Amino acid sequence: MGTDGGFRKRQNPFTQVSNEALQNTELSCKARGLYAIIQSYITIPDFILYKNHLRKVSCLGQRAFDGAWQELKEAGYLKQYRIRSHSGYRYEYELLDRADFITPALQNIGITGEILGQEI
């Protein structure tokens, strides 16, 4: 059973948003907006951003949010890490400045940190 996870931190005192992501016409405005919102939060020191918090502040309904989230994953801008622990799984997310189609959108990581079978 998975639990909601936090984003990996970046060191940046203000919000910079990737032009590549914002100008990607293959992404919907919802996905680009969600990208910018995520970017604005992951640079805040000592703040852990959770997916549930993003849902609340995005002003999108559940289905619209999930669609924008999936768009970012499929476009290579959002990576998800499912990390096994003794009590189940936890998740971490990573927002990328440039689309990465080489690394799978979802990576499974074992208890000892090894990368397990990967899903796209």
Q: What is the pLDDT of residues 62-116, one digit of tens each?
A: 999 999 999 999 999 999 999 888 888 888 999 999 999 998 998 888 887 777 7
Task: Evaluate whether residue 63 is within a structural domain.
Answer: yes
Task: Evaluate whether residue 114 is within a structural domain.
Answer: no
Q: Domain containing 64: what range?
A: 2-109
Whole-number average pLDDT of the chain: 88
User: What is the distance between the alpha carbons of residues 120 and 49, in angstroms, rounded to a whole number?
Assistant: 23
CATH code of 40's domain = 1.10.10
Task: Evaluate whether residue 49 is within a structural domain.
Answer: yes
Q: In this prediction, what percent of the chain has a pLDDT beyond 90? A: 57
Total number of domains constituting the chain: 1
Task: Evaluate whether residue 116 is within a structural domain.
Answer: no
Residue 118 predicted with pLDDT over 60: no
Task: Evaluate whether residue 18 is within a structural domain.
Answer: yes
User: What is the distance between the alpha carbons of residues 35 and 99, in angstroms, rounded to a whole number?
Assistant: 12
When pLDDT is cut at 50, 70 and 90, the band that residue 29 belongs to is very high
Task: Evaluate whether residue 119 is within a structural domain.
Answer: no
